[in-house]
Structure 1
């Protein structure tokens, strides 16, 4: 059996990297951009930083901002219609996972009109054509959507999220500019940073992990663990390191999958509109405890990467606990809630558990699970 690995054609890293958008657009002969960005980023002038680059280089664009924090089927549908009217030939996605996911779905449907029914994109779909070219500019250090082959759409009618996996949706260019992340508030920085840590840890222990993906994930855990506190404090070094750490995690998990932390977080987002990073951060330590017996010596590596001292002298039980405690401490230090009691209603747990079990991330979990196990995990956090 072979292992596939898919990455961007090109990525730019560092302060001022957004200026390379103009060079790439001109070199590739692009004529007009369809700019996808959420309304808050437009309102607070973050999107304008990229629009200024386009204006200064006489590059045409249309702005689309009908995007919700957990993007919906309707957001994608209106985006498709707006793209058709725009006469654009490429997409610039500016924002976090919401903008990126909307852009990916729009780009895939424009290139593959037989998938105009957005629900038809659920799961691993082998679309025949590559997406309309996407230049992805993240404004959060967490989702790594700029380097992944995944996107997530909310089906409001059915109160569920569905994961789409398609190598044809990966952005051709990723622009990782920490200056685009400097205006993130502390709470969002903490939540998206813990999302990135979840990607790295789940990717490291997922059933599909192998040596190449392990290399990315263990380095991402190290970078995120040392830099998230600084990023929340808005230090330049913390921002820059988190921008890199979340991208490195994305390079890994995009190719090997995740686990039930994400399955459970997806259903919380669909049911209660819970921010994805917050959901992941609350769930991660509890699910790590649940999965520990199926992870071999990997929690030892996680503990070391997170800076725990004396791991070489610990028993298996001790280093597993140390890894989990390090995650809990980081979450506490950046202000993440400890439980779901203000989010989940007891009567919703059967639906939440069934939905999480059906999620595309669940088969990657290192430990075989069940609807009943997932329900118990939800209840343990009330």
Structure 2
């Protein structure tokens, strides 16, 4: 079977990269932007950095901000109606995964209206047409939604998140500007950064991993490990490193899949609205321990990329433990909670477990989990 790589047509990287947006829009003949951004980014004048670029270039736009941290079916459907009424011909998604996932779903439904129920987009939907052109501008260094073929929507009624995988949804242009990330508070920087690390580690160890995705994911682990602490302290070099690291793993995991850290985190987000990065960060070391017997020598590479010294002289058990310990230490250093005690209610564990078992990320896990395995992983963190 052939391995496939899907990437952006174009991406811009570096401080001040948002200045390229006006030229991109004009060169592609775009007339009016539908700007998807969440209310907090508008409130704190982050979105306005981009809209100012549009205004100075004489480009028309309309803002849509009915977007929750875990975007819902209703957010998408309201956005579809707003796009139709706006007269826009392209989308600018400004924000983290929430804004970009909402934009992707809106863009897909506009060009593939038979999926307007949203739920039918779950999994690998048989869409026929590329979505409305999207220019994606991340403000967090975590999801890498600007370069992935994935998005996640919350079904409030059923208390579950569902993953959509569609090559038609990838933004045509990504603008990765670390200055757009400088206003992120420490907690959000930490949680989104650990989300990026989870992408890289799961992507490196998933069943679908191969040489090209390994190249992206292993380098991402190295860059994130050396950059996240600095980013949390808002050092420019830390911000720049995280902007690059999260994009690197986006190119990797989008093309090889993830594992049960994400399956379990999706369940937590749907039931408790737990921030996705926080859920991933709490779960990652425990799931790494569970998966270790099915990862060959990959934890040796992870330990080296995490900056652990003396790995070459370690036994297999030692370097596997060293890799997990390095992840735990980074998570602790950036202030992530160590367990789920303050999040999970015991009576919900079976529902969470079944949700994780049904999640689209589960099949990629290097070790095939049973219901009891996932249940015990949740319980071990309570």
Q: TM-score, normalised by structure 2?
A: 1.00
CA distance in 2 between partners of 1:214 and 1:130 (Å)? 28
Write the mapping of 1:317-328 to structure 2, written as runs, cut at 5 A: 317-328=317-328
Q: Flag as ranges the 4+ runs of structure 1 deviating above 6 A.
A: none
**Cα offsets for 1:48-104 (capped at 9, x unmatched):** 000000000000001000000000000000000000000000000000000000000
**Structure 1 match to 2:86:** 86
Q: Tell me what 2:248 maps to.
A: 248
> Which residue does 2:154 correspond to in 1?
154
Who is 1:169 aligned against?
169
Query: Equivalents in 2 of 1:274, 1:113: separation in Å?
Result: 31
> What is the aligned-residue RMSD (CA, Å)?
0.3
The equivalent of 2:62 in structure 1 is: 62
User: Offset of 1:370 from its aligned partner?
Assistant: 1.1
Residue of structure 2 equivalent to 1:181 = 181
Give the gaps of 5 or more residues in structure 1.
Answer: none
Deviations 1:176-229, CA, capped at 9 Å, x for gaps:
000000000000000000000000000000000000000000000000000000
Question: 1: distance between equivalents of 2:4 and 2:237?
Answer: 33
Q: 1:280-309: CA deviations, max 9, x gaps? A: 000000000000000000000000000000
Name 2:275's counterpart in structure 1.
Answer: 275
Match status 1:115 vs 2:99: no
Distance 1:300 1:119 in 2: 40
- Tell me the residue number matched to 2:284: 284
SS in 2 for 1:33: strand
1:355 partner SS: helix
Q: Distance in 2 between matches of 1:259 and 1:357?
A: 11
Check if 1:192 corresponds to 2:157. Answer: no
- Aligned partner of 1:131 in structure 2 is 131
Q: Name the SS for the 2:342 alignment partner.
A: coil
3-state DSSP of counterpart to 1:123 = coil
Q: TM-score, normalised by structure 1?
A: 1.00
1:217 aligns with 2:217: yes
CA deviations over 1:89-143 (Å, ceiling 9, x no partner) = 0000000000000000000000001111100100011310000000000000000
- Segments of structure 2 that go 5 or more residues without pairing to the other structure are none
The 1-side partners of 2:132 and 2:368 are apart by 38
What is the alpha-carbon distance in structure 1 between the residues aligned to residue 245 and residue 2 of structure 2?
27
Shift of 1:161: 0.2
Alignment of 1:27-66 (within 5 A): 27-66=27-66
Residue matched to 1:106: 106
1:121-177 residue CA offsets vs partner (Å, 9 max, x unmatched): 000113100000000000000000000000000000000000000000000000000
